[in-house]
Amino acid sequence: METWEGKHFSITDPKNVNTVIYQINKTQKEFLENSPKYTVERLDFTEEIRGEMKRKTFYMNNPSQDHDQLLILSFAKERVVVNMALLQNDKITMSKKPIPLKFDSIYSEQEQEIKDFKYTPNLKRPICIIDPETTEEIEPTLYFDEKTNEVKGKCKLKPYKSYFTFEIKDKKDD
């Protein structure tokens, strides 16, 4: 049996707001050749309904000894608030200025058809795509393209709908 210490904390989501949290992991030097510099890990959570609010407890099962960085995304109808935080010494310090984004929606009442969004994944540059309505990640299906001799990815995206995507990078890597 292997055991270790995890961390957990709770936040309350107001009505019609759905928060998801990612832990940002910096890849150790010895693995950098084949891995991206940063990877993200979505935190599991349990939730408890309190009137019109939801109290969510997030579990971090791979904490570091000193500190960990978190990306907090609060989705609401057509909007998301991006918050950054630092977990250190059993407390979470939030960034003072969250970044609010509004989706430039091209919503339509017309019948929708799911279309494939094809791309060539760069394993050194992972990009996370989230459906803001469900807050679920859109996972790509990987396939081998014999014509180009490359592994390619296919995501099913609905037309006339907004998705939220992000990647973690260093300023100097641009």
Partner 1 sequence: MISQVFDRNDQIRFMNTAMDEKGKCVRVDAKLAMKGHEVEAFLDQFGAQFPIKVESHKVVNNKNEAYMLVDGKKIPLDKEKADKSQKAQERKGLLNSQKGIDRD
Of residues 76-105, those binding partner 1 (CB under 8 A) = 76, 79, 81-82, 84-87, 90-95, 98-105
Of 127-146, binders to partner 1 (CB under 8 A) are: 129
Measured distance CA(145)–CA(142) in Å, rounded: 10
In the complex with partner 1, which residue's Cβ is closer, 60 or 149?
60
Name which position in 12, 120, 122, 141 contacts partner 1 (CB under 8 A): 12
Measured distance CA(14)–CA(4) in Å, rounded: 33
Of 30-59, binders to partner 1 (CB under 8 A) are: 44, 46, 57, 59
In the complex with partner 1, which residue's Cβ is closer, 90 or 146?
90
In the complex with partner 1, which residue's Cβ is closer, 149 or 165?
165
Per residue in 98-116, is it b (16+ CB within 10 Å) or e — as a string? eeeeebeeeeeeeeeeeee
Per residue in 48-87, is it b (16+ CB within 10 Å) or e — as a string? eeeeeebebebebeeeeeeebbbbbbbbbeeebeebbbeb
Name which position in 65, 109, 144, 148 contacts partner 1 (CB under 8 A): 65
Measured distance CA(125)–CA(36) in Å, rounded: 6
Measured distance CA(129)–CA(107) in Å, rounded: 18
Q: Least distance in Å: CB of 148 to partner 1? A: 19
24 binds partner 1 (CB under 8 A): yes
In the complex with partner 1, which residue's Cβ is closer, 24 or 135?
24
69 binds partner 1 (CB under 8 A): yes
Determine the residue type at 140. Answer: P
Name which position in 1, 29, 33, 52 contacts partner 1 (CB under 8 A): 1
